[in-house]
Structure 1
């Protein structure tokens, strides 16, 4: 009889194989989890690296123009840019790992688990079939054993009855029949048991020779596929790392190239030039000769303790920190002082931003400082004008406190100063933009001719609307900045009917008034004296106009279209004919009257075609 425990010897290898297969799939899943965590670390590192580069790049942007131009700052900025590129490559590696590897491992793990589960189900099915066959064999064996014992007992009783002489023949025959019956049952159960054992042996042989190897082969394929996927995933990880290393290598090569461009000598010289450009050499001190001490009797002196003391007026030595700086600024703004107030000095040195031999960065830095100083002066002038205006209102309200007319001259001075500062600040900003473009190597097509916005702009002498080179641009602007022409103040407005005729006495202007609105607004504060009607020949013609023009003969043609932007200007179209009412005073505006319509107003001088000239006239 086959032992019952013999079947279970087959289960041990199967369970071991299933266990190894499960461990392989778990390990493959662990590789996927590793890839996921690696991608998270790469992304976190990328974010921190980007933030670091952005933080220090923002700090470097706050440096001044000179520091931005030195090579070590540029090299560091290039280093930060490449560092940002490296962070981007780490981010790309993290995305590639997450999309290509983690998702692949997840899908393959599900597929391998499904294949293994199907193999386990098939193995369980054939195991159940074999187990049922063995159980049936066990039952048949038990029945055969029971029948055999019953038949054996029946024959023992028959043999005992046959030896007993006292038993009747009927009882003996009955015992023989019972023994034969039990013997037949035993033979039948034996045949059944033999047939069951044969079937079980066949089933067991089929199980071990055919079914079980197929299941094992399927499990082997699952394990083989799992191991192949592990190899593929690890190879992908290496590929991602190689691409990352290659990109980082290129970035580091660029970093090295930018570092090699650092020039300590040039940087130190540039910084030194920028500092030297802000230093103005003072003028030499003058020797004040107090005279001959022998002439002490002829001079008034004070005596203290018998000793003579000569007081020297310290105020005569007015030593400025930068003696020429004040004059440079005042000359630049057109605020020329009266000769009786300020003695004539020697020509002041050039500003650093006007010196073409200076580095562009140094010129930009100096120009930026100049603009800031002028803006502060403008703010002070505006505050001063507001204070004088409030004082004048107070005088009007209470005449006993003061004469309101005394505030007129300061208001005129402040108005002209504010207009000059606004104009020069605007021009300096334009020059700064132009110089900045030249530093960046960007071409510019800016026009410096007559402007079409008269309240805020002005035409530049000596410059046409299309300049061919950047040097011509700079020279033209500098000619405007460093010149302060004196013009006569004229009133473009027509006196109202019914007013007493007046004559305007020409007044020298300390600066330029580039807006026709301001030109007309000053007409109300010019000193007026009554004259006869014969003095004024035309209400439209200014006595102070430096251009002696006969209106009946000077007929000009409009070249370009201009739209009115204020009450003092008028719109013109190309081809229109105008009569000159008031010539250009150097501010880029001409007062004219239309041939048709009799409309009068200011128009840009450079928009007009004068007789005998082929191009528009730019005022001197």
Structure 2
């Protein structure tokens, strides 16, 4: 690469390349403008990239319905990653904005200035060149005049010499040629002088043109081109500085993504899955072996086999717990006891389902035990937070009331009374809710603990597998029986605030709709005869046309406690003493009666008024 010195410049080295330099500077400015378009498109790409990153983050933000899944560490890491990507998009926006403000704007202004400066210098060069060209043309005309005058002078001198040597010419003719010679010689001298002057002026202008005038124009063009090249360098450096300026934040975003990856813990997520989906139920016990040779009948064995209810999810590795009443059982009961009157099975099922939904919103009894415990704890935390807020608000109102009472000029204390009353009412309601939900929580914790300690028939949900076995032969769908079973188990809520220590008057006894006129035709003991023990069979075939049918003994769906003594006065009802505990067989179906069975003795079974008992349903 040649060494550039101050003596080597366009004015001296390229004195004869005016047109070439004009084209070169034009190409240089076009190149600068092209670079500006590149930076502008680069800024547009950065802006579009930032927009698409933000849109990507927005599209993958968790939906409200999926927020529960974001308690897992992998989901939390993904959410943190999206936040960092959103910040990363902001840095690309910064790059686009800085390129637009600090590079493209200045570059556009520079291109405009360079074009104007180039045009000005080229016009100056054209003016100088035109002046020199004009002078050269003047010189050429002077030279032609001198050349013509010189030739005419020579011809005149030659004619005078011939005339002077010719003795035949008169003296007057000789003087005439002398005068012509003198005139031509004088005109030649004048043309010569004019030519000398024009030559001197032309040489002087030419020296000035090529030594100062045009070199100055070329120097200006050289500076213009060097300025263009230098600014391209500065613009490139500036673009790099803009990008480097956001690198620290980009690196922080990338570090944040790495930290998000580090919080992922597969063991913790595994425990969260257990905590989230654990039902609290115990696994089913082993199926007992039925030795038919030791007595009994095929029918009894078949009944025990039917006691095993395998849900439809067994193929997928699940085991569905069933129990209590099926659609067939409900329909049969309606035909026998006339409890449901003219209502059909569909209407009854909808009523039970609606009751279950309503109760589920209150005590969450439609959830498995462990999930119910978690939801109740969350509800209690929420209620206690509200209690704290209302307590603080009440204390503030009390202080304000005291200030008003001490200084009536500040305000009327009576204006605070209504607010205090409302606050007290809300606080009292919240405290009642806390007590109620605490009772729900204590109940479910007690059931979970008892279920973990005793894998008993009364406490384990697996006992429900044996409930209402006869429906297996009725063709009822698994989905229907599961819905009815769950609805029946959720439709009763224990009243934890009832005082059992006070002996108060029993409520009115509801009208018994399943008395003798309904076709029951049996006493409270006859039910026991029909619903014989689940492992025995009396061998009597039931008449298919009869209003009675021999049903398998229904498994209890809960327990109940007598709040008041009751004397059986109607067919199908059984007496009970105060505080007596009984098995709950079927819930109140809307007629005010509940079907129960004694825990001891012969297992007497019948109906008691629902208002006389306090029920506790096994959680499924």
The TM-score, its normalising length taken from structure 2, stands at 0.52
SS at match of 1:85: helix
Q: CA deviation at 1:415?
A: 8.0
1:176-191 to structure 2, matched below 5 A, reads: 176-191=178-193
Q: CA deviation at 1:217?
A: 3.5
Q: CA deviation at 1:411?
A: 9.8
Call closer, same or farther: CA 1:429–1:128 in 2, change over 3 Å. farther
Match of 1:475 in 2: 438
List alignment gaps of at least 5 residues for structure 2.
1-12, 312-318, 366-370, 391-426, 445-489, 497-506, 513-562, 565-610, 613-620
Q: Distance in 2 between matches of 1:202 and 1:279?
A: 116
Match of 1:36 in 2: 40
Q: CA deviation at 1:196?
A: 2.0
- The answer on whether the counterparts of 1:72 and 1:263 sit within 8 Å (CA) in structure 2 is yes
Q: CA deviation at 1:183?
A: 0.6
Call closer, same or farther: CA 1:443–1:79 in 2, change over 3 Å. farther
- The answer on whether the counterparts of 1:49 and 1:87 sit within 8 Å (CA) in structure 2 is yes
Match of 1:484 in 2: 493
Q: Distance in 1 between matches of 2:102 and 2:123?
A: 32
Match of 2:429 in 1: 465
Match of 1:125 in 2: 127
Match of 2:272 in 1: 270
2:239 to 217, 237, 240: 237
- The answer on whether the counterparts of 2:373 and 2:441 sit within 8 Å (CA) in structure 1 is no
Q: CA deviation at 1:292?
A: 4.3
Cα distance per residue 1:391-426 (max 9 Å; x no partner): xxxxxxxxxxxx999316979966863553242233
Q: CA deviation at 1:145?
A: 0.9
1:78-477 to structure 2, matched below 5 A, reads: 78-274=80-276, 276-277=278-279, 280-283=282-285, 285=287, 292=294, 312-317=300-305, 318-321=307-310, 325-326=321-322, 406-407=341-342, 417=352, 420-427=355-362, 435=375, 438=378, 445-446=385-386, 464-467=428-431, 475-476=438-439
Q: Distance in 2 between matches of 1:124 and 1:433?
A: 96
Q: Distance in 1 between matches of 2:384 and 2:203?
A: 101
The reply to whether residue 21 of structure 1 matches residue 25 of structure 2 is: yes
- The answer on whether the counterparts of 2:57 and 2:86 sit within 8 Å (CA) in structure 1 is yes
Choose between structure 1 and 2: higher helix proportion. 2
Q: CA deviation at 1:237?
A: 0.7
Q: Distance in 2 between matches of 1:432 and 1:215?
A: 92
User: Bigger CA drift: 214-223 or 42-51?
Assistant: 42-51
SS at match of 1:120: helix
Call closer, same or farther: CA 1:444–1:41 in 2, change over 3 Å. farther
1:488-507 to structure 2, matched below 5 A, reads: 505-506=509-510
List alignment gaps of at least 5 residues for structure 1.
1-8, 294-298, 300-308, 343-380, 389-402, 450-462, 488-502, 509-544, 547-584, 587-620
- The answer on whether the counterparts of 2:292 and 2:298 sit within 8 Å (CA) in structure 1 is no
Match of 1:617 in 2: none
Q: Distance in 1 between matches of 2:384 and 2:158?
A: 133
Cα distance per residue 1:231-253 (max 9 Å; x no partner): 32112210122134323211110
- The answer on whether the counterparts of 1:437 and 1:444 sit within 8 Å (CA) in structure 2 is no
- The answer on whether the counterparts of 1:36 and 1:98 sit within 8 Å (CA) in structure 2 is yes
The TM-score, its normalising length taken from structure 1, stands at 0.52
Q: Distance in 2 between matches of 1:220 and 1:433?
A: 85
SS at match of 2:429: coil
Q: Distance in 1 between matches of 2:383 and 2:508?
A: 47
Q: CA deviation at 1:276?
A: 4.6
Cα distance per residue 1:456-481 (max 9 Å; x no partner): xxxxxxx943459x997852554699
Q: Distance in 1 between matches of 2:73 and 2:169?
A: 136
Q: CA RMSD in A?
A: 4.8
Q: CA deviation at 1:157?
A: 1.2
Q: Distance in 1 between matches of 2:377 and 2:189?
A: 119
Higher relative CO (Cα under 8 Å, sequence separation at least 6) belongs to 2
Call closer, same or farther: CA 1:201–1:68 in 2, change over 3 Å. same
Q: Distance in 2 between matches of 1:122 and 1:472?
A: 99
- The answer on whether the counterparts of 1:53 and 1:84 sit within 8 Å (CA) in structure 2 is yes
Match of 2:8 in 1: none
Q: Distance in 1 between matches of 2:364 and 2:278?
A: 23
How many residue pairs align between the two structures?
Answer: 392
Call closer, same or farther: CA 1:232–1:479 in 2, change over 3 Å. same
